[in-house]
Structure 1
Amino acid sequence: MAEVESFTLDHTAVSAPYVRLISVEHGPKGDAISNFDVRFVQPNEGEIPTAGLHTIEHLLASVVRDRIDGLIDISPFGCRTGFHAIFWGDPAVADVVAAVRGGLEFIANTAEWSDVPGVSAVECGNYRDHSLHSAKEWSKTILDQGISLDAFERVGV
């Protein structure tokens, strides 16, 4: 079986919230694709409820793209403690943090239900499982804790 980096990470040694570069892969034509661990909740100590996480996902998919170029996808971890963010190129961790922080600030302070994209049965595979209230509360909590530039040490929060 192939080794998966996230299963080799010592989840007891990290200190969330943080953004961590997992890897930079290069395609056959030299294109770089970067994978980031965007961790919002301390592993094995809590998790974002599914409806709130789902709404954060939909909003970040849009608002992070407004704040940084190259986002391919931002998808939640099954453990519900954060997201993978996949980018073309190799953006700096600080730039990803700034884009994510800006997205969370929008969610926490400005977003209204009409701002949440893709919430109808046509656009979403589980459109009934959303909570803007939960998304706002979790965004505020994450922002209050600060997003570190380092997974193992609180840096630049």
Structure 2
Amino acid sequence: MNDVELAEVESFSLDHTKVKAPYVRRIGVEHGPKGDAISNYDVRLVQPNEGEIPTAGLHTIEHTMAALLRTRLDGLIDFSPFGCRTGFHLIAWGEPTPETIAAAVKSSLEDLAERITWDDVPGTEAVSCGNYRDHSLHSAREWAKVVLEAGISLDAFDRSHLA
């Protein structure tokens, strides 16, 4: 290896062959110099290395869930997709419980699967999105249904703890 120093990233030390998606997992909590807490969650929707959400559907899930989750969670900072397309990082102020996050994700996915129309999806025009042509509400809905049918676990390794 060369002389480049790399920091350890928690999610790269997670054994992706042992997790059982869908689940919500607290990755960690960081505390700022004034005591503020920021929580990072792994919201895994698809089993790693067995499938992935196509980019157009993932993009629409990202935009829609970012808006829906802000109506359900105080302090949501960001909801961003993993590059592997199997889930999302959810970043929030404070220390919301995994149960709170899972309930908000579940109810948001229910709205996405059943009630959201194309007119509801935010950021689907060139002025508001850097890749506005790459969206699919149909794909987003179908993936939301798949996740809801499987149920969202509160334990990344055990499906018996469903929210």
**TM-score, length of structure 2 as denominator length:** 0.95
**Partner of residue 86, structure 1:** 91
- Alignment of 1:54 with 2:56, yes or no, is no
Identity rate, percent: 69
**Letter of the aligned partner of 2:162 in structure 1?**
G
Supply the distance in 2 between the matched residues of 1:54 and 1:141 (Cα, whole angstroms): 17
- Indicate the SS of the match to 1:140: helix
CA shift for structure 1 position 156:
2.0
Supply the distance in 1 between the matched residues of 2:84 and 2:123 (Cα, whole angstroms): 23
Bigger radius of gyration among the two: 2
- Indicate the SS of the match to 1:20: strand
**Letter of the aligned partner of 2:70 in structure 1?**
R
- Alignment of 1:27 with 2:32, yes or no, is yes
- Alignment of 1:36 with 2:41, yes or no, is yes
Unmatched 5+ residue regions in structure 1?
none
Supply the distance in 2 between the matched residues of 1:32 and 1:68 (Cα, whole angstroms): 15
| 1:97-151 Cα shifts (integer Å, max 9, x gaps) | 0000011000000010000001110000000000000000000000000000000
- Alignment of 1:123 with 2:128, yes or no, is yes
**Partner of residue 17, structure 1:** 22
- Alignment of 1:156 with 2:141, yes or no, is no
- Alignment of 1:109 with 2:114, yes or no, is yes
Supply the distance in 2 between the matched residues of 1:11 and 1:129 (Cα, whole angstroms): 28
**Letter of the aligned partner of 1:54 in structure 2?**
H
- Indicate the SS of the match to 1:64: helix
Unmatched 5+ residue regions in structure 2?
1-5
